[in-house]
């Protein structure tokens, strides 16, 4: 029943959709319930302003993020990031909080990054803009990451992302190889650190 409603709604929305302009394509989400984030999301693509950051990202084989808002509400959400590169898995868990569509890290984690969830029409994706909080670096070091519950997206979904990247005058996005395994969430003895 719920699925049917969602389907009807999206058909209705698609029925009169003119192509979105940049303003709508890159707007932050108005509302984001923490439970909507729960679970593991695979990194599908990333986009950068800085060539060095882009090249270092391109060496990554796979990446994922996992949110767990159980027992935490908006102010105590567990956020784990994994990266697979050079045959090693790296993972780190943070406590984050969510205000509107902005995610902030615990100050004691010394991360200095603000993350904003942006619009995406992909139904099982999250689009996140990461900004480094230093006056001089905010503009050059911002980057976009498109995550999904799927490993591989439809062409049209990737096209939308490319359009968003273009709106923000960023470099062409890097799409990760969907066939590379994600790191397990828990450390295994062979792959720590």
Ligand X SMILES: *[C@@H]1O[C@H](CO)[C@@H](O)[C@H](O)[C@H]1NC(C)=O
Return the residue of 25, 61, 89, 144 that touches ligand X, per CB under 6 A: 61
Does the footprint of ligand X cover residue 189 (CB under 6 A)?
A: no
Does the footprint of ligand X cover residue 180 (CB under 6 A)?
A: yes
Does the footprint of ligand X cover residue 140 (CB under 6 A)?
A: no
- Residues 103-122 close enough to bind ligand X by CB under 6 A: 110, 112
Q: What does the per-residue mask of binding to ligand X show for 79-108, with x meaning CB under 6 A?
A: --------------xxx-------------
Token pair listed for 135: 């006056």
- Judged on CB neighbours under 10 Å (0-12, 13-18, 19+), 176 is buried
Residue among 26 and 41 whose Cβ is closer to ligand X: 41
Cβ neighbours, 10 Å, residue 91 = 20
Cβ neighbours, 10 Å, residue 71 = 8
Token pair listed for 103: 């995610």
Q: Are 142 and 128 in contact (CB under 8 A)?
A: no
Residue among 50 and 68 whose Cβ is closer to ligand X: 68
Calpha distance 64→147 (Å, rounded): 8
| DSSP letter (8 states) at residue 119 | -
Binding-site size for ligand X (CB under 6 A) equals 15
45-53, 64-72, 116-124, 145-153 -> range binding ligand X (CB under 6 A): 64-72
């Amino acid at each position: 029943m719920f699925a049917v409603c969602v389907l009807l709604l999206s058909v209705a929305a698609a029925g009169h959709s003119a192509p979105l302009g940049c303003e709508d394509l890159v707007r932050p989400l108005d509302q984001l319930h923490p439970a909507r984030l729960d679970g593991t999301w695979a990194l599908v693509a990333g986009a950068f302003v800085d060539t060095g950051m882009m090249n270092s990202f391109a060496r990554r084989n796979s990446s994922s993020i996992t949110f767990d808002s159980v027992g935490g509400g908006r102010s105590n959400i567990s956020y784990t990031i994994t990266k697979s590169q050079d045959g090693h898995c790296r993972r780190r868990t943070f406590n984050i909080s969510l205000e509107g569509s902005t995610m902030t890290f615990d100050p004691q984690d010394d991360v200095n990054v603000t993350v904003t969830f942006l619009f995406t029409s992909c139904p099982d994706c999250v689009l996140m803009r990461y900004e480094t909080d230093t006056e001089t670096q905010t503009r050059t070091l911002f980057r976009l990451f498109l995550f999904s519950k799927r490993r591989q997206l439809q062409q049209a979904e990737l096209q939308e992302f490319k359009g968003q990247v273009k709106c923000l005058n960023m470099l062409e996005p890097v799409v990760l190889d969907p066939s590379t395994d994600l790191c397990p969430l828990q450390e295994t003895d062979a792959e720590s650190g």
